[in-house]
Amino acid sequence: MLLGNNVAQASPAPGISNVGHTINGLSKWELPAILKEVSGIKYLGNNRFACIQDRLGSIFIYNTTDNKIEKEIPFAKAGNYEGIAIAGTSAYVVQSDGTLYEVQDYEGATPVVKQYDIPLTAKNNVEGLTYDKKNDRLLLVTKGNLPRNRQCKGVYAFDLKSRKLVAKPVVKINLADPIFCSLKGKDNAFLPSAIEIHPITNDIYILQGSDPKLLVMDEKGQMKKMYTYSRSNLPHAEGLAFSPEGELFISNAGTTGAATIQKVGL
């Protein structure tokens, strides 16, 4: 049963489709109260997720089999944490103002925390973070539009060798593309809340939390699909994760009840 509604749009470009996703009948887990404001998740394997929540500077390891938090890993004071990425034994967490934390050996006995002040600000409003294994870099997506270009939002790269942010976006989300033509509003018609890379196709997936949607682009930023959802299924979609096999998980902050992680069919 498809629970998302098809987006009506005028003459989409070849290869672009807007369709619903299957949610009904797939797994769903309610998160503990401390994760009510869950803002980012990453799948660790063996039914375990690394989770962050909006206000606390801690990583929480949550096990869906036992439905409990196995471990809390503090790394900073209270803030506005929006995305998490895992690269080897390091976890990376980003604040909306662009402050980036690396938690080395994050599951070890004595994690080491490093902070990187990258040239993004609260005006850019960083909302998502993921690890691009193919290019050994982090990708960050912003909710704010690009400077001097209100028709585009940016996906930026943080190089893990130089530990520096590439100055220009490596991918642009062009709001003038036909795939966006049916969305309500103008320049802020698409508001990213998370980013992830498909482990098999290397396509880039970008989630919108309000009026939930999921944009799929190829590695170069070519638009492929826009999936839509019902708010009754994804009331406040904030986090995005894939298993190595390509299973998709979306987390919801608990605005109208308990926060959740849901498995979503592709």
pTM over 0.85: yes
Q: Per-residue confidence of the chain (266 residues) as pLDDT tens digits?
A: 223 333 333 333 333 444 455 565 578 999 999 999 999 999 999 999 999 999 999 999 999 998 999 999 999 999 999 999 999 999 999 999 999 999 999 999 999 999 998 999 898 999 999 999 999 999 999 998 887 777 889 999 999 999 999 999 999 999 888 888 766 555 447 899 999 999 999 999 999 988 899 999 999 999 999 998 888 888 889 999 999 999 999 999 998 788 999 999 87
Contacts 24+ apart (CB under 8 A), 17-20: 17/225, 18/179, 18/182, 18/225, 18/226, 18/227, 18/228, 19/225, 19/227, 19/228, 20/227, 20/228, 20/229
Number of C-beta neighbours around residue 256 at 10 A: 10
What are the structural domains, with CATH classification, of the chain?
17-27+35-253 (2.120.10.30)
